Amino acid sequence: MKARPLAGKRIVITRPRELAAGLAARILEAGGEPVLFPAIEIRDLADLRPFHGIADRLEEFDCAIFVSPTAVRKALPLLRARRGARPWPATLRVAAIGRGSRRALHDEGIAGVLAPAGQADSEALLAMPEFAAPAGRRVVIVRGRGGRELLGDTLAARGARVEYAECYVRARPDADAGSGEGAEFSAAAADAVTVASGEGLANLLEMLDERGREQVRQTPLFVPHARVAEQAERLGVRKVTVSGPGDDETLSALVAYFRSAK
C-alpha cells in the first residue's frame, strides 16, 4: 500500500487558484485534503500600452528577467501577439528568479535560461556571476505591477539600464471577512496553512474575521522564504516553517513536520 503521510490532514493553499493545482495534487497523493483559499488573484492590466512599447523594441535589450512563472505565462502570449512573426531576438539573454520560472520558460520553448540553482529569489539571482558587473547592459524585468524593487535597484546601482515590462496585477480577492470563503476558513479545522508570499499572507489575514486570524496564528504555517517567515512572526504567527519555493519542497516540509509531530 502506498504511503499516505498526510492522511487526515487539511492543508490550506492560499496561492492564486490557477497556480494551486500542482501542490493540491501532491497533497492529495500523500493522503491529505487540500483546501483552496486563494489570497491573491492574478488580473489582467487594463492598459497594456507600456508593455507593448517594450515588446516593440525587445531587440534593444541584452537580458530579460522573468520574476515568476506567472510573469512567463502572462508575458509570452502577449509578446507573441504583439510581435507577430518577429522571432525572439537571438542576442537577448533570458534569466529567471528560480527553477519554476525557468521550467515555465522551457515549456514555452525558451532554452538556456539563467537561474539560481538553489534559493529562488532576487538575492540569489543577483549573486550569480553573470550579474556581478552589468554596467552598460540594458535589462528588462518582466513582472506584475509593483512588487519588490531590490532586483532592479541593485542592477541599476551596478550600472545596468533597467526597465520594467509589467503584464499583470496582483489583487486581494473580493471575499468579505465573516462571510463566504472567510467564514468557511474560520470554521475549518485546518492542520496547516501554506502561503507563497508576504503579500498573500497579509491578504489572508485581511480577508478573515478575528476568529480566522487567530486560527492562522495558531496553525503551522509553511512559507517559501525566510523574509516571509519574519513577516509572519511579526504578525503573531506562532509556528512557521520555511519550506522553499517549489511544490515538492513544500510537500516534503509538510510530511517532515507531521511525521515529527507524531
What is the tens place of the pLDDT at every residue in 32-48?
A: 999 999 999 999 999 99
Q: CA-CA distance, 110 to 99, in Å (whole number)?
A: 13
pLDDT tens digits for range 209-230 = 888 899 999 999 999 989 899 9
pLDDT computed for residue 24 by the predictor = 96
Q: What does R_g of the chain's alpha carbons equal in angstroms?
A: 20
Domain ranges of the chain: 10-40+172-260, 49-170
Q: Which residues pair with 93 in a beta bridge?
A: 63
Q: Which residues pair with 259 in a beta bridge?
A: none
Q: CA-CA distance, 156 to 158, in Å (whole number)?
A: 5
In the chain, DSSP assigns E strands to 10-13, 33-36, 41-43, 63-66, 93-96, 138-143, 161-166, 169-171, 192-194, 221-223, 240-242
Q: Report the amino acid identity of residue 153.
A: D
Split at pLDDT 50, 70, 90, the class of 245 is confident
pLDDT computed for residue 1 by the predictor = 52
- Cell output for 52: 507593448
pLDDT computed for residue 100 by the predictor = 86
pLDDT at residue 180 greater than cutoff 70 = no
pLDDT at residue 181 greater than cutoff 80 = no
pLDDT at residue 71 greater than cutoff 50 = yes
Q: CA-CA distance, 31 to 27, in Å (whole number)?
A: 6
pLDDT computed for residue 168 by the predictor = 96
Give the helix/strand (H/E) hosting 184. Answer: helix 181-187
Indicate if the alpha-carbon torsion angle 144, 148, 154, 157 is positive or negative.
positive
CATH number of 49-170: 3.40.50.10090
- Residue 43 phi, psi dihedral angles, 5° rounding: -120, 150
Pick the CATH number of 10-40+172-260 from 3.50.40.10, 3.30.300.20, 3.40.50.10090, 3.40.50.150: 3.40.50.10090
- Residue 147 phi, psi dihedral angles, 5° rounding: 95, -175
